[in-house]
Amino acid sequence: MSEKTYSNIINNVLKPSSSGQYFQKFNPAKPSESLGKFPQSNAQDLEQALEAAKQAFEIWKNTPAPKRAEVLYKAAEITSGQKEELAQILTKETGKPIVEARGEIQEVIDTYLFFAGEGRRIYGLTGQSELHNKSITTIRQPIGVCGFITAWNFPAAVPSWKIAPALITGNTFILKPSSEAPLSAYLLVQNLCGAGLPNGCANLLFGNGELGTLIANEPEIKVVSLTGSTEVGRKVYTACAGQLKKCALELGGKNAIIALDDANEELLLEGVLWGAFGTAGQRCTSTSRLILQKSAWSKQFLAKLSHAANKLKVGDGADEKNQIGPVISAKQRENIHGFVQRAVLAGGELLCGGKFLDGEGYFYAPTIISQIKPEMELACQEVFGPVLAVIEVDNFETALKVANNTDYGLSLAIYTQNINLALKASNQLESGLVYINAPTIGAECGGASAFGGWKHTGNGSREGGVLALDTYTQYKTIYIDYSEKLQRAQID
């Protein structure tokens, strides 16, 4: 069977890149299996997509929000009908277990439905003037063309978190997915176009980091939203700041679970296993530190945890029995192994894992390393793999200090049956997300949720809930004077 070659999507038309160059995407569980060839886009492709998005914006911004919502409702319906097919493709693309892939596609559906509902709730403000016969109204309006640069670990959900609030508020977009996960984004945009989105509202360009740089530096792109590394985030932020345009950043994390000596052991065991090793540790919210209060049970708990981690089934995510899939690439696996080796050399005790696993794919054993000190590399730097650093502390106050002792501030959790300590921790932990008696993963896409971090994890933007509308709208205040006579302010 010949290898499929994909095209960019510009103005709802499939277009090959002007560069004539392509890259291949392979299944990380079966690196010999190619998922297709994708175009390496350049500045000329971006210019074409930008022109289409700008023209479409003039139509889409004047479309009533409830009408825009109909497109998102239809896209949710189409996605729901393709759920299993899309999940299978996502598993081949990222390696994640099929159960997780199904959950991610459901996240896309839920995100579309939530923001479609916001189409009738794009509220502003109405207030009293300081003058007679005058009213003040503040409304939200769209900004223009948005540029989305997304990561590979959630190649369907993360783009949907950007796309849905941007579209419902009247913006158009250009999406550049990671070259490690291009296919899910392609299907996402195809379904939006199939749902009746006007031509040019959704544009997809494949490419590498050079294309991302072009998007960040393009003055006609009025909003840039990036999910990626802190290093890349700094570059995007600098480019956007120079143009005084909006920039939303969702970056790295070094998340921790604090486990006090009164924690429910069963809940804690499940939470640490899922938080540290779900998605092979390749989440920005993955639990990469366990801050464990020393007690009579802590040593026994670590033994149980290591035993349970050793029993996790690692293999091709397409096989229903496997709980952990491969990491995304050979390079990433080598990077993960380097962290482990350096931690052991620095004095860490390897409790389990720490090795490549047999098989064709990029499999790495779930790894737990104890005797980690707060200042060590493994306690401070993001690994993005199935590696858990165990840091033992004497008391609650020290646990809080250690949890906050990183440049990141995305997700922190505490396990305790003491409600006073739980609430104190929720107030003092320096992170955008705090969980009580639950792991550091599991953010929702609507309601009162707001996904985003503090410190070097981002720049204050939020995704996944109603606050995401702030990124894609600008405020306009309208003054209405309904007096029949000229009003003058009297100053005493």
Residues forming the active site: 250, 284
Residue by residue, DSSP assigns 389-430 as EEEEESSHHHHHHHHH-SSEESEEEEE-S-HHHHHHHHHH--
Q: For 129-261, list the strands marked E by DSSP.
A: 134-142, 145-149, 172-176, 202-204, 223-227, 246-250, 255-259
Q: How far is C-alpha 326 from the geometric centre of its chain's CA atoms?
A: 19
Residue by residue, DSSP assigns 157-190 as HHHHHHHHHHHHTT-EEEEE--TTS-HHHHHHHH
User: Ramachandran region of residue 25, left (φ > 0), alpha (ψ -120 to 50) or beta?
Assistant: beta
Q: How far is CA 208 from CA 164, 445, 462, in A?
A: 24, 28, 25
Which residues, in sequence order, are CB contacts of 184 under 8 Å at separation 6+?
86, 89, 90, 93, 155, 156, 177
Phi, psi (degrees; rounded to nearest 5) at 346: -85, 0
Strand 255-259 versus strand 287-293 pairing type: parallel
Nearest to 25 by CA among 34, 17, 16, 15: 34
Contact between 384 and 403 under an 8 Å Cβ cutoff? The reply is: no
Q: What is the CA radius of gyration of the chain?
A: 24
Q: Which helix (H) or strand (E) holds 221?
A: none
Exposure on the CB side of residue 213, measured as CA atoms within 13 A? 6
Nearest to 437 by CA among 240, 286, 260, 279: 260
Nearest to 457 by CA among 404, 411, 400: 411
**CA 101, CA 325: separation in Å to the nearest integer?**
11
Nearest to 277 by CA among 185, 386, 193: 386
Nearest to 460 by CA among 471, 474, 449: 471
Strand 411-415 versus strand 387-393 pairing type: unpaired
User: Could you count the other beta carbons within 10 Å of the beta carbon of residue 336?
Assistant: 24
